[in-house]
Amino acid sequence: MVLGPKREDDFTGEARQWDVETGKQLGPTIEMPKPVWAVAFSPNGRVLMIGSESGHISFWAAATGLSHGAGADGLGNITSVAFAPDGRTALSSKTYEPAVARLWEVPPGWGTALPPLHDGPVRHVAFAAGGVILSAGDDGKLLRWDTKTWRPIAPLMQHEGAINGLILSRDGSIAATTSADETARVWRVASGEQLGQPLEHGHEESGIALSPDGNLILTGIGGPTVRRWDRASSRPVGELAVDNWTLPNLAFSPDGSIIATGGDDHAVRLWDATTGRPVCEPLLHGSSISAIVFSPDGRFLATTTIQDQLVRLWEVRTGKLFGKPMFHRGSGSLAFSPDGAILISSSNSHTSWLLDVATGQPWCPPLQHSAPVMKALVSPNGRTVVTISENREVRLWDMATGHQLGPPIRHPGQVTEAAFYPRSDQFVTACDDGLIRLWDVPSPATGDAATIRLWVETLTGMQLGEQGILQELDPTTLASRRQSLNERGPEPFPPPSK
């Protein structure tokens, strides 16, 4: 890191990052209103703290040079800054009279943003095989990211128009995309090579589905048919006759033997994936279909509709309704937990419900939001739910209790997609500001309740009184709390992932 006043201007400052091995600048120059005299990296290397003249302190995302939260102003010229070992607090000092040291709380920021390589909104993000993240957006780029370095992997995969659909094979080795260039394309994730020729479906928007083995592709453009494509030959192998005039919902069963389609004809149809023939009578609904999803074991198909506001479970083997329809006003998105025991329904009524598949009853009270909920997804270990709402917020929830984990995660733009890391300890979000951000999933505190309470009171300097009112701890009590902590052992809060 090189810092100081600009050469042509002694009244403003800048900071630059450089690659030690190559000597090349990393990321953009960080412009400051005053000369910069102190800088420090957080312990995990993700955040920069910059101190400058007039006591200005600011925090920046190291990967992108973007603001990591609001700055703060103090007194005097900052000459030294440093992070605490846990990265949650930071210290600044000035040596001129009077000498002063200040303690700062590091702002949560906008998450750890990956380098800004998309030219426009990012619409899709997914974890693929080999520790790779895929991202796609309005610029037509399909990027691969290395999750060890969080850097892009060459070569670039490209459509000639905005990418409006991304889906992966079951093992994550094959990806399929559809685009405004009126084609669908299939890619090998490991090499970035395009497999076969573009599938020319002839429309700027198309639904898309990929069989679990990656050998069969479905495209639906809003019309009387859904087209089946063979990946090896890049040719159509048949059409499914549907009565639909909007983009259809398309899905393969987990074993790839059954195709489900649903749209504005008030029906979901099940098809043999090999022959393209119906396997049962249409599953009739009271209005247009807004979402369909298979359970992980393929036993059930969950559906929801736009107007009658009912969530239904169907037995795939028989095509019969399982249990009673479940009411959820405005339901438009469905997801199963990894074990298939819980179905999550999200809606424009500002709620998500966790529904017990066996009983059809709510697992817990509704997950309340302050805006319509676009989507929910569950971590691979089944412990955490992430919800995306239309007010630029993402929320985390405990699957077992339905309790919210921390405050909403606010983004500077609308969140379009999210995906969990396979270990379930981190997740990424895609945003229409063109950035992909990495977030840590909170880990539960360890130890007994008394120790955890003592830590919370000492870290915050506050305690709950008998009437549930926050009270500030006096200096003597706070010193006593700290002495007790020294005798109890390490902090019960696991540090963020590195």
Q: What is the pLDDT of residues 439-458, one digit of tens each?
A: 888 877 777 888 888 888 88
Residue 383 is encoded by which pair of tokens? 């412990």
For residues 441 and 429, the answer to whether their CB atoms sit within 8 Å is no
Q: If pLDDT is split at 50, 70 and 90, which confidence band does 328 have?
A: confident
CA distances 250 to 74, 78, 281, Å, are: 57, 58, 17
Q: What pLDDT, on a 0 to 100 scale, did the predictor assign at position 190?
A: 96
Q: pLDDT digits over 273-290, tens only?
A: 999 999 999 999 988 899
Q: Which residue has the higher pLDDT, 12 or 137?
A: 137
Enter the DSSP assignment of 466: T
Q: Which residue has the tokens 């559809």?
A: 178
Please report the beta strands in 170-256, taking only residues with DSSP state E, as ranges in sequence order.
Answer: 174-179, 183-188, 199-200, 207-210, 216-220, 225-230, 235-241, 249-252
Q: What pLDDT, on a 0 to 100 scale, did the predictor assign at position 230?
A: 96
Q: What pLDDT, on a 0 to 100 scale, did the predictor assign at position 108?
A: 64
Q: If pLDDT is split at 50, 70 and 90, which confidence band does 167 have?
A: very high
Q: Summarize the confidence of residues 462-474 as an average pLDDT.
A: 80
Most confident listed range (5-14, 30-39, 277-286, 458-467): 277-286
φ/ψ region of 238 (left if φ > 0, alpha if ψ in -120 to 50, else beta) reads: left
Q: Which residue has the tokens 């001129």?
A: 96
What is the rounded distance in angstroms from the CA atom of residue 226 to the CA atom of residue 251? 12
For residues 201 and 178, the answer to whether their CB atoms sit within 8 Å is yes
pLDDT of 110 strictly over 70: no
For residues 15 and 67, the answer to whether their CB atoms sit within 8 Å is no
Q: Summarize the confidence of residues 476-491 as an average pLDDT.
A: 77
Q: pLDDT digits over 401-426, tens only?
A: 999 998 888 888 899 999 999 999 88
Q: Which CATH number fits domain 2-105: 1.20.1050.140, 3.40.50.620, 1.10.1280.10, 2.120.10.30?
A: 2.120.10.30
Give me the phi and psi of 54, to 5 degrees please: 70, 15
- Average pLDDT of the chain to the nearest whole number: 87
pTM equals 0.79
Q: What pLDDT, on a 0 to 100 scale, did the predictor assign at position 189?
A: 97
At how many degrees (to 10) do helices 449-460 and 475-488 cross? 140
Q: What pLDDT, on a 0 to 100 scale, did the predictor assign at position 471?
A: 84
Q: What pLDDT, on a 0 to 100 scale, did the predictor assign at position 143?
A: 97
pLDDT of 496 strictly over 60: no
If we measure between CA atoms, which residue out of 348, 262, 359 comes closest to residue 301? Answer: 262
- Domains of the chain by residue range: 2-105, 449-488
CA distances 41 to 64, 81, 345, 393, 456, Å, are: 14, 9, 42, 28, 26
Q: What pLDDT, on a 0 to 100 scale, did the predictor assign at position 69?
A: 65
